[in-house]
Structure 1
């Protein structure tokens, strides 16, 4: 990086050291610290707690929807929608759990400052 000014409208390449899997597309523009990190242990705890709860919710609403008759309240469609929402949250929690465990493993394997 040089000290000369770049023409307006051009972007300089961002460092890839703390980038995501694909890399940063644009340089940082906010005031957050360069070393800002997500609270990975809290995300791990929340994903680990809510994953089984959402699995149980999806199963519960799915079974309830299967046992619902034509005139019952709540309607079968409502229960199926709740089961689908819980299933979507299961997928999100599982994906977050995989991402967080991978990042924690990568942090543990990289040597720290000497």
Structure 2
């Protein structure tokens, strides 16, 4: 085993087996982030509107709301990266 094969990072040379211009599936990630944000926002709203404070469902609503916020942040990050790389956000 060579010294460079035990390390990871951009300093490694191209071996020929990985794609040289690999791209992340930003469209899929954006769709999943938006879908997750909607799903968790609806779940949080349902938990807050239909729960009895003594049942503990509100805590699940708080968790769902936090997950919705994280999904929105992920969607914003993906949209910015798509814009920065000049990729279209939709087909057309």
TM-score by length of 1: 0.55
Matched, 1:43 2:24: no
1:34 Cα offset (Å): 6.0
| Structure 2 partner of 1:93 | 71
Among 56, 75, 80, the residue aligned to 1:102: 80
Relative contact order: is structure 1 or structure 2 higher (C-alpha 8 Å, sep ≥ 6)? Answer: 2
TM-score by length of 2: 0.66
1:82 Cα offset (Å): 1.0
Q: In proportion to residue count, which structure has more helix? A: 2
| Structure 2 partner of 1:53 | 39
Two-structure CA RMSD over aligned residues (Å): 2.8
1:101 alignment partner, SS class: helix
1:69 Cα offset (Å): 6.7
1:42 Cα offset (Å): 0.5
